[in-house]
Structure 1
Amino acid sequence: MAFLMAGVMALSACGSNDNEEGASPSTGTPASESPSNSSSASPSASPSDSPSPAASEVKLTKVSQVTNWFAEPEHGGQYAALSKGFYEEAGLDMTIQSGGPGISSTQIVASGKAEFGMGQADEILLARESGIPLVAVAAIFQKNPQGIMYHKGKYKDISELNGHKVYVGSGVAYWEYLKKAYKLDKVEEMKYTGSLANFVADPEAATQIYVTSEPFTMQQEGVDVEYFLNYDLGYKQYGNILYTTEDYLEKHPDIVKAYVEASIKGWNYYKDNSEEINKVMQEKNPDLKLEAMAYGAQAQEPLIYGGDAEANGVGYMSKEIWEGLQKQLVDIGILKSAEPIDQAFTNEFLPAK
């Protein structure tokens, strides 16, 4: 199981203990115990008809969320909700902690150092089996943007990767699925380091990617590429899941609802105002150019706002998709057993469509 958890940590490389956004830093203390909170300070609190100036000030609930990488278009709705004041309107004093290599958002949320996290659907199931009771409260990506990139025209079927180098993270769940489903038993697995230099140098190589990012990098370098989207290859999992713990959800359902609704409002805003919010995110991640952000925002649009989100709204999750993913993880031995899937996710806090 050690290599599996290594995969979880690699996939969960999100968040840090350094505060990046918000009016004041998160203390890591549950919101209900924060000195700034009281029973009258819930997100739904409202002033009386004729309040005094002091009484009309609604106290905000301090919370923080951990994203799964440095600020980028995949987080656009979260930053939109922060910069446009949607979290504040919902009664939340929000801090966004950006992720980075080797940082586990699941551990940060499980320890109470952040109330909310962002990760992949398989991470939620793996964490739960490991005794970390996370609950998904929204799925930003209907189709996960993870994929396998190759040089243009080289492959028509993923099974043709046999006999060639593939740069991929060790123990990554989707790769274990693809190997079994497509009999990739002759692939030369190479350690993925984040660098694309070896891929570029070898016209027969392939590499793991986010379809919202690396293809743009290759375009800038004049390298023609194509890719397989893992979701379309049968590994159907949601991406950029927003989650919290069972305990926090049970004790603070009003805060969870305020967080989810404000986040979804942010994503609906980002769809038509990505250029504005990309500039906000670039202040936090200056290494990512606006041109790359524009590419990512366009590439991810059908993955976020398409599929079930068209009828049910951004963030919606299907029991069928969750059960299918769980069964795949059990079949390839990554999960030992299938728990009742209803415990792993809920649509209860999504805004009414």
Structure 2
Amino acid sequence: MKKGKLASLLAVIMMILLVAAGCGSGGTSTTQGTGTSDTGKANSGKLDKVTLQLKWLPQSQFMGYYVAQAKGYYKDEGIDLEILPGGSDIIPEQQVNNGVADIGVTWVSSLMKYQSQGWGLVEVGQIFQKSAMLLVSKASSGINSPADLKGKKVGSWFGGNEYEIYALLEANGLNKDKDLKLVQQDYTMNQLLNNQIDAASAMTYNEYGLLLESGLKDSDLHVINMNDAGVAMLEDCLFVNSDWISKNEDLYVRFLKASIKGWADACADPEAAGKIVYNVDQSVSLAHQVYMAKEVAKLVAPQGFDPANIGYIDMNAIKQTADLAYKYGLLSKPAVISDNTINSKYWKEATGK
């Protein structure tokens, strides 16, 4: 090879080596651990794995998480979210306490029960601002007020769902053991439809809709709403293991930011949210999922409630739930309400409040 060609070839090789070195500088891969900065996530491209345990099967009760997942809000926050469905044999508190899930959804009264047993669980967000629990009767039954429940058969799911009913009865001077008959209710509304019971437990977003779908109209029914009766207990909240949150504060705040965006979108367009949930698990009809979504939106962002405050923990409502849970026997001792059991700091960080 001639000297001129050899020199040119060496020059090309040197240029390639210099370019390769330049591309490699600062490009060393970084392992992303919990709480990694946004810069670290951008460089590594890795997502933090988070597992969310639902209280029940996939349905519009949980639409905010599904909407946030479908729209990529969790990925935007550097999170790979896995949503675990619940069921009659799954207890979210156990799943989180045992480390099967990082974050759980449960009712506040249920969480307080496990906290009272020494479990290191802490509420870190309140999604439902109002109770969805109703007592529903046919208009023909003559039950126009709580006092009219005297001498009637009243359905309850029990298993922790009965305490608002107990409070309702006592607030209206009725003895739950003497003045009426509480009956085990199944998860359909057939007992009420078939006149086997006079009043049935129903959630605004589910069982009440089943009655309407059966052909009954609002005018055919009478409703006792626990919020209106002053005995409401808080339902769907977010909770974590205290050990987990102590190591993953930034991760949870990012999760909450994405979740709040998802819930805000779902409440603004519940029909679209219902379709997203329906596509996840077609266990009920699309029409019912959309109905549920519209009703859930009223619980998450009630009339006059700023959607920017989704997830806000109302301590007065927390105290009412705790007082009722203790008074009617769900708790054997008063609930301890402190930063170790109910903590708003993460919501404040997520919302900038």
- 1:251 and 2:247 are equivalent in the alignment: yes
Does the Cα contact within 8 Å between 1:308 and 1:316 map onto a contact in 2? no
Q: CA deviation at 1:180?
A: 2.9
Q: CA deviation at 1:43?
A: 5.5
CA gap 1:155/1:133 in 2 versus in 1, 3 angstroms: same
Q: CA deviation at 1:83?
A: 0.8
Kindly report the root-mean-square deviation, in angstroms, between the aligned alpha carbons of the 2 structures: 2.3
* Match of residue 160, structure 1, among 144, 148, 171: 148
Q: CA deviation at 1:337?
A: 2.4
Q: Deviation per CA, 1:156-192, whole angstroms, max 9, x where unpaired? A: 2112112111111235332332343332432211112
Give 1:91's aligned residue: 78
Q: Distance in 1 between matches of 2:267 and 2:335?
A: 35
Give 2:95's aligned residue: 108
Give 2:223's aligned residue: 227
Q: TM-score, normalised by structure 1?
A: 0.81
- 1:177 and 2:167 are equivalent in the alignment: yes
- Percent of matched pairs sharing the same residue: 22
Does the Cα contact within 8 Å between 1:79 and 1:281 map onto a contact in 2? yes
Give 1:4's aligned residue: none
Give 1:288's aligned residue: 284
Q: Distance in 2 between matches of 1:349 and 1:321?
A: 19
* SS in structure 2 at match of 1:256: helix
Q: Distance in 2 between matches of 1:275 and 1:312?
A: 20
Give 1:45's aligned residue: 38
Q: Distance in 1 between matches of 2:232 and 2:239?
A: 19
Q: CA deviation at 1:143?
A: 0.1
| Residue identity opposite 1:181 in structure 2 | A
Does the Cα contact within 8 Å between 2:34 and 2:251 map onto a contact in 1? no
- 1:205 and 2:216 are equivalent in the alignment: no
Q: CA deviation at 1:341?
A: 0.8
Does the Cα contact within 8 Å between 1:319 and 1:341 map onto a contact in 2? no
Larger Rg: 2
Q: CA deviation at 1:308?
A: 7.8
Q: Distance in 2 between matches of 1:307 and 1:277?
A: 19
Q: Deviation per CA, 1:46-95, whole angstroms, max 9, x where unpaired? A: 159xxxxxx73332111111112122221110101111111111111100
* Match of residue 66, structure 2, among 79, 82, 88: 79
Q: Deviation per CA, 1:101-157, whole angstroms, max 9, x where unpaired? A: 232111111110000111111111111012222211111110021221111363221
Task: Count matched residues.
Answer: 311
Q: Distance in 1 between matches of 2:44 and 2:333?
A: 50
Give 1:344's aligned residue: 341
Q: Which runs of 5+ in 2 are unaligned?
A: 1-29
Runs of 4+ more than 4 Å apart: 37-41
| Residue identity opposite 1:164 in structure 2 | K
Q: TM-score, normalised by structure 2?
A: 0.81
Q: Distance in 2 between matches of 1:74 and 1:43?
A: 31
Q: Distance in 2 between matches of 1:43 and 1:215?
A: 45
CA gap 1:156/1:301 in 2 versus in 1, 3 angstroms: same
| Residue identity opposite 2:288 in structure 1 | A
CA gap 1:149/1:47 in 2 versus in 1, 3 angstroms: same
Return 307-316 or 206-215, whichever deviates more: 307-316
* SS in structure 2 at match of 1:56: helix
Q: Distance in 2 between matches of 1:258 and 1:101?
A: 30
Q: Distance in 2 between matches of 1:233 and 1:122?
A: 18
CA gap 1:71/1:166 in 2 versus in 1, 3 angstroms: same
CA gap 1:43/1:70 in 2 versus in 1, 3 angstroms: farther
Does the Cα contact within 8 Å between 1:43 and 1:91 map onto a contact in 2? no
Q: CA deviation at 1:40?
A: 4.7
Q: Distance in 2 between matches of 1:168 and 1:161?
A: 13
- 1:314 and 2:310 are equivalent in the alignment: yes
